Structure 1
Amino acid sequence: MTALVAVAHGSRDPRSAATVHALLDVVRAVRPDLDVRASFLDLSAPRLGDVLHAVHGDGHASAVVVPLLLGQAYHARVDVPGAVAEARLAALDVTIADVLGPDDRLEDAALRRLGAVVDLDDPGLGVVVAGAGSSHAPANAAVAAVARRWASTRPWAGAEAAFASTASPDVPTAIARLRVRGAERIAVASWFLAPGLLPDRVADLAAGAAVAAPLGADAAVASLILSRYAEALGDVVALPA
């Protein structure tokens, strides 16, 4: 069977890799028949190229690389294909799946994390949807689209996107905008897969607001990983929700 090689960005923060491994444990629980392996682009081990070599060495003829990335930014467009090419494995058929976002399952997971720290039916609530930020404008636009959808469908005073780096607005600016719109309480929804430097920066800038945890080892995110794997193989079999 074709191996599933999940690749995350990587971080010096050990919580990040631990969260990725916990998420892939959920994937394995859903598909115990599938060879699921973790890899990283940078800062954490094992690296993607090393894992692809191990997959080939263990007898697989093919693998699907599933980027554990929430949007189509530089890492997805350049780093992942570059790492696959650098592995130089002509005997291993490698397909790169689509990134995780956009997808309703990510929004569902983010709302569950937010609901753990605030009342989602609070009309006085203002919500910052905080992402990493990218020089690739469509990646930022995808986060802003989440905030717009939530603002139009939830009973809150408003929702605003904000970014930890590179893009604007930043978290304090988004909070100020929500205050102007009448928000009495502020919460931050995490558009990050795992803990690390940028989520910590968001929390530091949130000025005492309730801050939701990253998406983490969520069953909906695990389902999405399996969907991306199946799509890359052209598999139309329904996967568990």
Structure 2
Amino acid sequence: MHHARPVLLVIAHGSRDPRHAATVHALTRRARALRPGLRVETAFLDFNAPRVEQVLSALHGAGVREVVALPLLLTRAFHAKADVPAVLSEATARLPGLTVRVAEVLGPSPLLVSALERRLAEAGLTPADRATTAVVLASAGSSDPEAIAVIAETAREWRHTGWCAVRPAFASAALPRTEDAVRELRAEGHRRVVVAPYVIAPGRLPDRIAAGAEAAGADLVADVLGAAPELALLLLHRYDAAARLPTRLPTRLRTRVA
């Protein structure tokens, strides 16, 4: 059976924390609801099932010949640059005739900033609070300089929308930590300091962000981005950009930028 429209395969990292997979599945369900005719599958690099190679093998066996693989990542760090291409290359080498394109990672995007705004509003902030509120943009962290630069630039851009300050912070691999950023903003005289986790799903590092925010006395901590409607829409935007690329690269994987 031939499928005219490429299948969207969302690739998440995976976690021992069951909230992670539940959140990823909620997000992909929302994307399906937005695009009823699109087949959307979910796979994980580690910890959770199904794995990427299992899903691709099942799709190939069902007659699917074109797949858009979308890394569920906010920056182009190690997982996007190494892990995802490696697992896709290995899997497609055993599946002749299958074409896989790799969409761009989710960030940066104005839709992600809109999702952050949504979570802060849900946590209790109002538009009137913006000018007197400092925000810590707390990401999981990375040792990749490109990824760190993207987070810093996102914070700078977000600052221009009316917050009195926006400071990047990281749960691992880079500094400052969330608690340090909160304390620095307090020391600078900001009356209200809030933390906006720039992470998709719950897990060990988001818990570390929340713990650091609490230890430093942040006024509130927003929820993770999760299955926000802006994220579901962004998945489809990345899919559409990748699906428009020229086809005919079966059996060999080349990373395409959406």
Q: Same fold (TM over 0.5)?
A: yes
Q: Which position in structure 2 is the counterpart of 1:143?
A: 151
8 Å contact from structure 1 (residues 7, 68) kept in 2 = yes
Q: Percent identity?
A: 47
Q: Which position in structure 1 is the counterpart of 2:82?
A: 78
CA displacement at 1:140 relative to structure 2: 1.2
Alpha-carbon spacing, 1:153–1:58, altered in 2? closer, same or farther (3 Å): same
Looking at structure 1, the residues matched to 233 and 82 of structure 2 have their Cα atoms a distance apart, in angstroms, of 25
TM-score by length of 1: 0.93
Alpha-carbon spacing, 1:11–1:143, altered in 2? closer, same or farther (3 Å): same
- Residue 224 (str. 1) matches residue 199 (str. 2): no
Looking at structure 2, the residues matched to 55 and 120 of structure 1 have their Cα atoms a distance apart, in angstroms, of 46
Q: Which position in structure 2 is the counterpart of 1:169?
A: 176
Q: Match of 1:182, SS?
A: coil
- Residue 69 (str. 1) matches residue 76 (str. 2): no
Q: Which position in structure 1 is the counterpart of 2:192?
A: 185
Looking at structure 1, the residues matched to 39 and 166 of structure 2 have their Cα atoms a distance apart, in angstroms, of 40
Q: 4+ residue stretches of structure 1 with deviation over 3 A? A: none
CA displacement at 1:150 relative to structure 2: 2.4
8 Å contact from structure 1 (residues 121, 155) kept in 2 = no
What per-residue deviation string (whole Å, max 9, x for no partner) do you get for residues 138-167 of structure 1? 1111111122122232143x1100000001
Q: Which consecutive unaligned segments of at least 5 residues does structure 2 have?
A: 246-258
1:91-106 equivalences under 5 Å are 91-106=97-112
8 Å contact from structure 1 (residues 130, 161) kept in 2 = yes
Looking at structure 1, the residues matched to 120 and 148 of structure 2 have their Cα atoms a distance apart, in angstroms, of 20
Looking at structure 2, the residues matched to 119 and 219 of structure 1 have their Cα atoms a distance apart, in angstroms, of 20
CA displacement at 1:180 relative to structure 2: 2.3
- One-letter amino acid of the structure 2 residue matched with residue 35 of structure 1: R
Q: Paired residue for 2:135, among 127, 132, 143? A: 127
8 Å contact from structure 1 (residues 128, 174) kept in 2 = yes
CA displacement at 1:120 relative to structure 2: 4.3
Looking at structure 1, the residues matched to 163 and 168 of structure 2 have their Cα atoms a distance apart, in angstroms, of 17
State the superposition RMSD in angstroms.
1.3
What per-residue deviation string (whole Å, max 9, x for no partner) do you get for residues 63-122 of structure 1? 110111001000000000001012122221111111111110011001110111123432
Looking at structure 1, the residues matched to 138 and 127 of structure 2 have their Cα atoms a distance apart, in angstroms, of 17
Q: Which position in structure 2 is the counterpart of 1:213?
A: 223
8 Å contact from structure 1 (residues 159, 178) kept in 2 = no
Looking at structure 2, the residues matched to 226 and 105 of structure 1 have their Cα atoms a distance apart, in angstroms, of 12
Looking at structure 1, the residues matched to 127 and 178 of structure 2 have their Cα atoms a distance apart, in angstroms, of 20
What per-residue deviation string (whole Å, max 9, x for no partner) do you get for residues 151-198 of structure 1? 232143x11000000011111221122112221122100100111110
Q: Which position in structure 2 is the counterpart of 1:50?
A: 54
Q: Match of 1:153, SS?
A: coil
- One-letter amino acid of the structure 1 residue matched with residue 161 of structure 2: T
Q: Which position in structure 2 is the counterpart of 1:238?
A: none
Q: Paired residue for 1:108, among 99, 114, 118? A: 114
Length, aligned pairs only: 234
Looking at structure 2, the residues matched to 121 and 131 of structure 1 have their Cα atoms a distance apart, in angstroms, of 26
Looking at structure 2, the residues matched to 83 and 155 of structure 1 have their Cα atoms a distance apart, in angstroms, of 41
Looking at structure 2, the residues matched to 121 and 92 of structure 1 have their Cα atoms a distance apart, in angstroms, of 52
CA displacement at 1:55 relative to structure 2: 0.9
Looking at structure 2, the residues matched to 125 and 196 of structure 1 have their Cα atoms a distance apart, in angstroms, of 27
Looking at structure 2, the residues matched to 178 and 91 of structure 1 have their Cα atoms a distance apart, in angstroms, of 55
